[in-house]
Every structure is written in C-alpha cells, then in structure tokens.
Structure 1
Amino acid sequence: MGKPFLARVGIDMALVLAAWWLAFWLRFNLELLDPYRELALLSAPICFLAFAAGLWLARAYRHVWTFAGLQELRQLVVGVLLGSTLTAASVLMLRLPDFPRSVLVLHPVLALLLLGGARATWRTVAEGRRGNHGGTPVVVVGALQDAAAAVRTLKDSKRWRPVAIASPIDAETGRSLQDVPVKGDIAELADICQLMGATTAIIASPPGSNDRRTALLAAADARITLLTMPRADEWLRSESAEPRKVELEDLLGRVPVSLDVAGLSELFAGQVVLVTGAGGSIGSELCRQIARFGVVRLVCVDASEYAIYQLEQELRQAHPQMHGAYYTANVREFDRLRALCEKHRPAVVFHAAAYKHVPLMEEDNEIEALRTNVAGTLNAAKAAAACGARRFVMISTDKAVNPTNVMGASKRLAELLVQSVAAGEPGTQFVSVRFGNVLGSSGSVVPLFTTQIARGGPLTVTHPDIVRYFMTIPEAAQLVLQAGLMGRSGQIFVLDMGEPVKIVDLARMLIRLSGKTEQDIPITYSGLRPGEKLYEELMANDETTEPTPHAKLRIAKSSGAPPQVENVTRWLAEAGPAPEPQAVRDWLRSYVPEYSPRGS
C-alpha cells in the first residue's frame, strides 16, 4: 500500500466524518446543541469503521481517481450503501439514547455527494493538466454513441487532443460530448478539420459502416490522415489502445462473429484435427482458430512445401504447447491421405485444399480442376470415413451456385459427392460450407490491387458493374468452425455474406487508403475474363434455405439425387492426362445441370 493509496483512504474517511457531522447539523436546523454534539462524537467511530468496511468490500479503492467514470461511481454507490447499512445496524443494536434516526438517512446522501465530488474534482483537474500539455488535435468521426468511448480514450492519452466531432446524425450538430463539440456531418469533415486546425481524423463508427467509407473519401480528398480506434481483438494482443491506420477490413468488416465457444471447446479439446490445404489463406486461418481450443494434435497437410513450412514456424511460436504434425502431401493421392489419417486418427477433418483461380482453371487446366477439386475432395472424404473421423467439413464457394466456369462447377460436383459419401458412411458427419470471397486471400483481387498501386497504377477492373461478396479471413474461418459443430450429415451451409460490394468501389477505397486519388492512380476496365460472372450468388435457382440457431448461417436445401461415386471416379481415371476441354465441360454438365459455360 503506497502513499497515494493511503492518501485516498484518508481523504475518503475525512469526507465520511464531515458528512456525519453535517447530517447532525442539518437535522437540528444548523444549530447543534451540546447533548447531540456529544452523541455525534460518540457515534463517529461507528460510522468511520462501517464506511471503511463498506468501501473496502465494494472495492472502491482499486480505482484510479484520474480515470473515474460511471463504473467507478456505481461501485462507490454500492460502498456507500454497505457503509450506511452497517452504520444503521450498529447504531440500532447499541441503542444509543435519543439518537436521531433521520441522520441515518441524511448521512449516506451527503457522503455520496462528497465522495463523488472529490473524485470528479480530481479527474477534472487531472484532465485540465493533461490538456495544458497539448497533443495533436484530432476530429472524431461517428455518432455520439459511438464517439463516447473514443473521446474518453483520447482525452486520457498525452498524444491526442479531440477538438471536434463529425456525426452522421444531423440532430447531433451543435451538441457536445465531454466538452468536445459536434461541428457537422461526416461529409463536411475537410471543412471541420480546417476550422479546428486538425490534420488528423479518427473513426469511431463501427466496422463496415457507411460512415467509414464516407470519411475515407472526404479525408483523402483533403489529404487528411485518417486513423481508427483498435478493434477489441487488437486491444487484447497489445497493451496500447492507440489509434492505428485504417485498413480495408475496417471499411468492409462486420460485427464480430458470435461463436459457441463451449461447444467448439467440447468438439476440439483433447482431440486430433486434420486440415488439408493448411498452408492456404482459409486453411491457415482454420489452423490458427483450431489451435486456440486446446487440440491434442493438429495435423496440417498441404502440397506446397513453403506454405507448410511457414505455417509450422508460426504455430510453433504461437502455440508451443500444441503438438503439430506438418506434411507435404497432395489430396489427389488417396493412399497418402489414408495413411496420414490412419496414423493420426483425427476426430475432425477440414478439407480446404482446392484450385480456386477461375480464369486459370478455365483454359488449359480444366482436368486439373477436376482432379484436385473433385477427386481430391472425394479422397479426403473417404479417408476421413475410413479412419473413423466424427466430422468432415468441406470448404465450398459461392461460385458453385449456377456456375459459369469449370472451377465453380467442379466445386458444385464436390458438394454433391460429399453428400453421396455421407449417405454411405453414417459414422461420420459430412458437411459443406459455402461462402464468397475473403479479403486478402492469396490470388484474390485485393493483393492484385495492392501490387498495382505500389507500381503506380493503373488498377485493372474487369467491368464497372461487377460485384462480389466479401468477408474477412478470420470471420470466414470462424463460421466454418461453427457450421462444422452444428451441421448434420449431408447438409450444405450458406454463410451470411452481407451486402455485395462493387469491385470498382473496392479499388477506389484501396487507392484512398494508400493516400492517393484517382487522378494519381487511374482505374481501367479490361473486360470480363473467361468464366467470370458480373455477380455471384449464394443460392441456386432450385434451392431454398432453412434458418439455423446461428444468425449468420443458413442451410441450403436442393432437390435431386447425388451422383454415383463409382461413375465419377471411373471417368476421371479414364480421361487421361489431356482430355479435350469441351469433353470435360460436357461431362461436368451431365452431373451439374445448372452449369452454363459463358458463350454456350
């Protein structure tokens, strides 16, 4: 217990006793006669001890007065109530003669006013001192409800000084929050910054909101530095709550996924889990998420030596207590997959290995898409069943819906084959999970745009009207885990992808995030690529959905019988190393009737 702690206790006890004396004084109309003066002095130690115990039990002394807020005030109220209850009980038990009971009502009110006032005064003085030291003036972007926590955090920082708020709600203009005025709308951000002498704005609006995108456009046009408050997961990884640079995930991200942590812990804790395609964007994030749940062994399989090496280095450092097994293996080799499964006996298998690049698989590589996405999925599902895995989860894509390209049709056929295997293997729960694009995944549009920006442009967009669904890699991986936990065999889950985003708008946001404008880095249109659609769908024409207990997951229901596994494997074995592309497409259409190649 240091001197500051003892000083705070001393001040509190002095104020409690002052309130005790004041309660007697007010009770007797500001004139305290000798008998009652003696009674006040006699009972003061009772009040002192009772309030010391009450405030201690309420943990009121764990707070730093400089940062006192509503939570501290609530605990102070609890402490005063406990202290006043103990005081009243003691006085009544001792039966002090002629004790004025109204004092027992007046005193806690006065004590709360004095104790709360002391803390408010202390914080006001402390904030005034910090304000005198300056700090970089900033404008906070967001409605008052969103800006409250950011303003409080910035005021507690020595580096920043909030000078104004830009709110999207017109009715809030002219109001103030902690003496910081609301100066106008977000679209007026440049004018507000110029008026207040600020060159930095900090976004407090929630991730994915339109406020963030509006602020980005306004800030970039005026050459204003745009920052954002860290996300909750970043606060957990770092002791600092300092604002950071705005990232694309902040503009397109959504409310964090709600996971059934207890259910996932029960599914994974103490179990062996195997992930194919573990070195890819989704596969590696699945491994990171699974490692959090206490698996006894995580078996990571990928065809890329470098990718599996990188994953091994990362997981060994992040989870040194976890036993990991890292294999270079191709899902197209059933015997190798089965040997790994029989060696480790995984309880859960996540199948993320796939070829996913649409134009590359559309020309000259059609058979490769089938052998990896179709045969590879079939091999993984059969190996999981052979080793007695409880669950098998396949990662699918929105391109499997009404596909116009070989890659999408191959993933749709893979979904159907998983259902075929599920019908013959009741000991394993087989589930497929379908979702759209993930931000920053390998081979996706975001890394391409980033590279083009670094070269000075231009950014190549295939079509001005092309739209795609996006979600962050962690969100996609978490929903895959949740679907794997909830799913019943043969089900196909569809993730809630939110609202689609125009690719050209995505390009504009990335340009602004780089601190440039479209005059600095132009956007050009190159035309749709082979097999590419203007928009993706999450449901086929003959499909409906059913809700699940999770708000972001639905179950796709479709008619039709799954294909015969033997027929598929026979054709793939007999197709040879270089079948005619048209023969591949015709064969795909025989199993996926909704497959409609562009131009056919």
Structure 2
Amino acid sequence: MTSLPRNVIRAVILMSDFLVLTLSLLLSLQLLPGMEVAGDNVTLLWLCGALMTGGLLLNVIFRLDRIKLVMLNSRDLMTIFRFSLGIALVLWAASVALGVPHSGAAVLTFGIFVFAGLVVSRAIAVSILSGLREHLHRRKSVAIFGAGAAGVQLASAMGQSPDRRVVAFFDDNPAMQGMDIGGIPVLPSGNLVQDVFRNAISEVMIALPDSARKRRDTIVDLCERVDIPVQILPSFIDMLVERGNARLRTVDPDEVLGRGKVDLDTPEMVKSYAGRVIMVTGAGGSIGSELCRQLLNCQPNKIVLFEQNEYNLYALDLELRSRALARDIEILPCLGTVTDAGRLRHVMRQHGVEIVLHAAAYKHVPLVENNEIEGTRNNVMGTKILADTAVQEGVERFILVSTDKAVRPSSVMGATKRISELIVQDIQSRAPRTKFSMVRFGNVLGSSGSVLPLFQAQIESGGPVTVTHPEMRRYFMTIAEASRLVLLAGAYAEGGDVFVLDMGKPQKIMDLARKLIQLSGRSVKDPLTGQGDIEIRIIGLRPGEKLYEELFVDLDDLRKTPHPKILRAEEHCLSQIEVAGLLREIQAAIEAANCDKLRGIVMGYAHRHDPTREVRTGAV
C-alpha cells in the first residue's frame, strides 16, 4: 500500500478527509440542532458543497495530504488544528451567506469533530499499516538499554526500519521502570538476560551517555557471555574521542582549505534545474551523492540516481526519499553501468532525461594504475557510450566531472579523464542540440580516498600520518563547492566548455598534515627530540603521482564567466578522425587485454596538442 504512487495515496487521504467533514457536519447538526436545515436537503447540499470547496482550498494551504502518517508529530497536530479552525469558519461563513440560522455551539462542535476525526482516521491508518508491515516483513525484535533522550530518539528512528522493531527498553532508573514510552515498556535492568530470552529479543542496543562508559562495558560483557548480539549507539564519542587526558576533535573540511569558502549559490543554478528531469551517474559516490543533495534545493521534477553499486544506491535512496517527498520531487534509483548502452538508453527514454551529470568514474590513482583495462573501459569507453546515448535521446545538457589530474597527466587515471574530455569536445562538434561541458576539480576534501579522512583515521589511531613527499602540493575544495561548481557549469555551458573554480594557491600536503594534527588537539612529534603526539612519516611517491597538479592546459585560454570565481577554458581539441582512431586503438587493446599497449595509447594521446609540457604551480 505504501508503495502506491504518491498521487494515489494523496487522493485516498483527501477522500478520507472529505468523509470526515461530511460526518462531522451531520453529527454536529444531530447533537446540537442550532442550524435549522433539517428537512431542507437543498440547503444541506449547499453547505456540504461549501465545506468540500473550502476543505480543498485549506488542504492546498496546509498540505494536509502530504503529512507522513507514520511520522505524525506535534507540529502535524497543530496543522490539523489550524485546518479544523479554518473549516469551522468556512461553515460559519456559508451559513451566513445562505441565510441559515446558526448556532456558535454547533459551529464549535463541528470544528471539534473535524479535528478528532482527522486525527483518529490517521491513527487508525497508522495502526493498520503498522500491522500489515509486521505481518509482511517479520521484523526482528530488539531492545534498547537506556530510556533517556538518546534511547527514545533511537526508538523513534527505528520505528521506520523495515527489518527491526523495538519491543522493550531497559533502564537502571527505578523511576522509569514500569512506564511506557510510545507504547514500549520500560523493564528493570536486573532481569536483562531473562527478559531478553522471554520476549524473544534478537538484539540489544545500548544508548547510554559517554559518562556511563563503565556501565556500558558491563552490559556489553554480560550480553557477550550469554551470546546476545549487542550494539552501541554512536554519540558524542564520534566527535570527541578520549585518549588519556587529550581529546581528539573531528576537523571540518572548511577549516583546512587555507582560503575562504567560495559562495556558489546563484539564481542561475536554481533556475537551470527547476522542473527538469536530471540523471546523475555515479550517484552513490562522494561527488554524485552530494550533487543529488544539492539538486533537491533546485526543485527539479525528477532525479534519476544511476549507480552500479547496489548498497550505495540503496543508502542514497533511503537518505533522499523523505526530503524529496517533502519537496514533491520524484527519486528514481536505477542500477546500471555507463558501459551498458542498452541500459542507459532504456533509463533515459523511460524517464525522459533532460540533463545528465556524469560523475561515474574510477578515480583512485594507484588502483587505476594497476588496473589499466577496467579503468580505461569505465572512464573512457563509458563516457563515450553515455555521451552518444545522451545525444541519441535528445538530452539538452551533459556535464562531465573531470579532475586536475587530466592536465598533463602522469597517471593512467589522469590520462583516461583527459581522453574523456577530448571525446566530449569531439561529440559536441557534431551535436549542436546537446550542450556539453566539463568541470575540473582539485582534490575534494572529505571525499572517499581524499587525504582528509585518511589523515584523520591515522591521527585517531595514534599515527603516524603518512605523506608521500615533503614538497607535494595540491589544490583543495570542499564537496559542497565541487557539487555546486558542477551545477553552475550546467547553467553557464555554451558548448564544449571547461570550467574550473579559482581555488587560490595550492597547499603543501605536509602543511595540511600539520594543521590537521593541531586542529585535532594534538601536537606534531619532533623527529630529533621525540617530543609530541603524532609522527609525520615520508613514504615516497606512489605510482602515477606527481608533485604538482595543474588546472589548465594553457593559461592563455582562460575566459571569464558571470561568476568571478569560476573560469572557462577554451582548449585545443583533437579532430574527429583522431578521436575515432584513438577509440579503435583503445578498444583493440582492451579486447586483447594488452595492458602495456593500452598504457602507451592513453598516455600518448592524453598529451597530444598540449602547447607545453612545462609544469606550472602558480595560482589560477
């Protein structure tokens, strides 16, 4: 029932509310006949018509049909109260307009009946749906140790879980024992083991504050001794981890940028995506998922989540669905790979995709360096297949997410991204109806594989923090900046453009490591005296890495955009014949599984038409 289309569910709720209005009117007239309409069916019909019209208008104003039944809260009850008050005023106004003698008591009684009817009807619906869910899903019974604020919040959140249900609280506080919290009993902790087995509880979840760590450890030991699965609710310990007398603080990516955040919220961005059908490839990745979150603020009609990793797709769909529902945006999770032309064509045609944001790629330099064939197949051939399909299906805009490693690349990953740019530019020359553009990022702080989570994990474990070279420098940006840059590129695209954010001067990775250690509340260990908390260790460059990254092939090609911090590059392209020959060679090497030949092809073509091989390290 809950998987029915939203419009059907809203229609059912609306019909139920209209039935409540009609019954409330009839009951109020029967109990308090202050309005003389008995026997006058015409007047009664006019009153009912006025109530239905007023109810429909008030429903649009108060969005009663959009209240999620299983999450009914005090704010929703206040909305229902306002609706009831409004519909009572509609009855009063209609009776005055029709010249019906009316009674204030009858109007008040009608409003009370409407409020009670709307609340009770929703409570009955929740009860029925909950019973059906229990019957269909056979959810696992769990108990929560700790009936405080954290435990209650956990129980509330798990009320929406498809595979678990909370059947009991356990608490040491005698004042709490014997109470019911949201229909869940609070049991004494002294009989924990017996009550767990008596109630067929499959798992115990501990929701105790950090100050009760000793008690928490005792409960964990008890459960483990009798083979009861136990989990600890993460809390403040996720942000502040005790280590002796020091505290380890999680560092926000904005703190290590070395520059101010760039404001990329512009009206053009929202306007370009409002009401459109947008497909995000690689939606489950760091950039792809943040793109989807940012798109919710642009009010598109649909967001198609295209991802080959099942769990990432499931997690993102679960995260976005409620927020999208509140904004009346349709979320469509689609499993698939960009190398499957048939699947891409089916998804684009079925959902009427208008804009493609292509974030699907293998991006980890050492991994792609040792897996040339799959890296090239996905990054190069996948981009070619996706772009061709977009043209065939009449997509209006196509934005490729690229990287600064594509400029004079020293790695297979960077070379494949450079070739992807060349392919997109070539297709643009023959597809005037589709606007193609590309966005180059520096290192995205906080994304999977970036130095920030790696360094933080190393600091948390006590070090050492590993840096490949003391002189290595990188441009950095946050995930939010990267995602907004992609969206703005779509708004500013003229065709074949390369967009880059002005990120100031590149930072030394060594300086970043020191800053992270200090911001985390630790000190850098001195290699001579041995004083300090965390050691920084130099481990040498990895395969495919270079000391400096660049953002443009040639600084002379830069052009301004409407945003002062976003630059456009007009770069040299390969000819159609060269691109076709390149793709034939790549396909032949992939089919022959010839890694050495493939590496030579992609590295050779990636550098073609570069005006200089000189490495630049200055600011944009």
TM-score, normalised on structure 1? 0.57
1:525 corresponds, among 538, 548, 560, to 538
Distance apart, 1:257 and its partner CA = 3.7
2:306 maps to 1:301:
yes
SS for the counterpart of 2:357 is strand
Counterpart residue number, 1:579: 593
Which string of whole-angstrom CA distances, capped at 9 and with x for unpartnered residues, describes residues 476-512 of structure 1? 1111111110011111112212221111111112212
How far apart, CA to CA, are the structure 2 residues paired with 1:274 and 1:536?
30
Distance apart, 1:578 and its partner CA = 5.9
2:278 corresponds, among 267, 273, 276, to 273
How far apart, CA to CA, are the structure 2 residues paired with 1:378 and 1:423?
14
How far apart, CA to CA, are the structure 1 residues paired with 2:277 and 2:560?
30
How far apart, CA to CA, are the structure 1 residues paired with 2:450 and 2:388?
30
Counterpart residue number, 1:292: 297
Counterpart residue number, 2:111: none
How far apart, CA to CA, are the structure 2 residues paired with 1:570 and 1:225?
57
Q: Is the Cα contact below 8 Å between 1:373 and 1:410 reproduced in 2? A: yes
Give the aligned residue type for 2:364. Answer: H
2:417 corresponds, among 401, 411, 415, to 411
Alignment of 1:99-114 (within 5 A): none
Counterpart residue number, 1:372: 378
Alignment of 1:157-556 (within 5 A): 247-252=252-257, 254-259=259-264, 261-320=266-325, 321-363=328-370, 365-518=371-524, 519-541=532-554, 544-556=557-569
SS for the counterpart of 1:384 is helix
Distance apart, 1:559 and its partner CA = 2.7
Q: Is the Cα contact below 8 Å between 2:265 and 2:484 reproduced in 1? A: no
- 1:254/1:484 CA distance change after superposition, 3 Å: farther
Give the aligned residue type for 2:334. Answer: Y
SS for the counterpart of 2:418 is helix
Report which of the two structures shows the higher radius of gyration computed on alpha carbons.
Answer: 1
Counterpart residue number, 1:83: none
Aligned residues: 358
Structure 2: gaps spanning 5 or more residues: 1-244, 525-531, 616-620
Q: Is the Cα contact below 8 Å between 1:257 and 1:479 reproduced in 2? A: no
TM-score, normalised on structure 2? 0.55
How far apart, CA to CA, are the structure 2 residues paired with 1:457 and 1:257?
32
Q: Is the Cα contact below 8 Å between 2:254 and 2:261 reproduced in 1? A: no
Counterpart residue number, 1:200: none
Q: Is the Cα contact below 8 Å between 1:402 and 1:541 reproduced in 2? A: no
How far apart, CA to CA, are the structure 2 residues paired with 1:417 and 1:347?
20
Distance apart, 1:333 and its partner CA = 1.2
How far apart, CA to CA, are the structure 2 residues paired with 1:288 and 1:457?
34
Distance apart, 1:294 and its partner CA = 1.0
How far apart, CA to CA, are the structure 2 residues paired with 1:420 and 1:530?
30
Which string of whole-angstrom CA distances, capped at 9 and with x for unpartnered residues, describes residues 404-434 of structure 1? 1111111011001001111111110000111
Counterpart residue number, 1:132: none
Distance apart, 1:271 and its partner CA = 1.1
Give the aligned residue type for 1:268. Answer: Y
Q: Is the Cα contact below 8 Å between 2:473 and 2:506 reproduced in 1? A: yes
How far apart, CA to CA, are the structure 1 residues paired with 2:267 and 2:430?
30
Give the aligned residue type for 2:257. Answer: L
Distance apart, 1:315 and its partner CA = 0.5
How far apart, CA to CA, are the structure 2 residues paired with 1:373 and 1:538?
19
- 1:555/1:248 CA distance change after superposition, 3 Å: closer
Q: Is the Cα contact below 8 Å between 2:254 and 2:478 reproduced in 1? A: yes
How far apart, CA to CA, are the structure 1 residues paired with 2:454 and 2:552?
28
Q: Is the Cα contact below 8 Å between 1:257 and 1:478 reproduced in 2? A: no
SS for the counterpart of 1:529 is coil
Q: Is the Cα contact below 8 Å between 2:442 and 2:475 reproduced in 1? A: yes
Distance apart, 1:536 and its partner CA = 0.4
SS for the counterpart of 2:429 is helix
Q: Is the Cα contact below 8 Å between 1:299 and 1:326 reproduced in 2? A: yes
Counterpart residue number, 2:233: none
Alignment of 1:557-596 (within 5 A): 557-564=570-577, 565-577=579-591, 579-593=593-607
SS for the counterpart of 1:372 is helix
Which string of whole-angstrom CA distances, capped at 9 and with x for unpartnered residues, describes residues 342-382 of structure 1? 1112111100001111111112x111121111111111211
- 1:299/1:514 CA distance change after superposition, 3 Å: same
How far apart, CA to CA, are the structure 2 residues paired with 1:226 and 1:472?
22
How far apart, CA to CA, are the structure 2 residues paired with 1:542 and 1:563?
25
Distance apart, 1:256 and its partner CA = 4.3
SS for the counterpart of 1:441 is coil
SS for the counterpart of 1:433 is strand
How far apart, CA to CA, are the structure 2 residues paired with 1:258 and 1:447?
24
Structure 1: gaps spanning 5 or more residues: 1-222, 228-244
SS for the counterpart of 1:438 is strand
Alignment of 1:3-82 (within 5 A): none
How far apart, CA to CA, are the structure 2 residues paired with 1:437 and 1:542?
20
- 1:274/1:495 CA distance change after superposition, 3 Å: same
Q: Is the Cα contact below 8 Å between 1:345 and 1:388 reproduced in 2? A: no
Q: Is the Cα contact below 8 Å between 2:324 and 2:331 reproduced in 1? A: no
Q: Is the Cα contact below 8 Å between 1:277 and 1:303 reproduced in 2? A: yes
- 1:505/1:590 CA distance change after superposition, 3 Å: closer
How far apart, CA to CA, are the structure 1 residues paired with 2:469 and 2:334?
41
Q: Is the Cα contact below 8 Å between 2:377 and 2:590 reproduced in 1? A: no
SS for the counterpart of 1:319 is helix
How far apart, CA to CA, are the structure 1 residues paired with 2:449 and 2:343?
27
Question: Cα RMSD over matched residues?
Answer: 2.5
- 1:382/1:508 CA distance change after superposition, 3 Å: same
How far apart, CA to CA, are the structure 2 residues paired with 1:586 and 1:520?
45
- 1:593/1:255 CA distance change after superposition, 3 Å: closer
Distance apart, 1:306 and its partner CA = 1.1
Which string of whole-angstrom CA distances, capped at 9 and with x for unpartnered residues, describes residues 102-123 of structure 1? xxxxxxxxxxxxxxxxxxxxxx
Q: Is the Cα contact below 8 Å between 1:397 and 1:408 reproduced in 2? A: yes
Distance apart, 1:335 and its partner CA = 1.5
Give the aligned residue type for 1:552. Answer: K
How far apart, CA to CA, are the structure 2 residues paired with 1:260 and 1:440?
20
Distance apart, 1:318 and its partner CA = 2.3
Q: Is the Cα contact below 8 Å between 1:430 and 1:491 reproduced in 2? A: yes
Counterpart residue number, 1:210: none
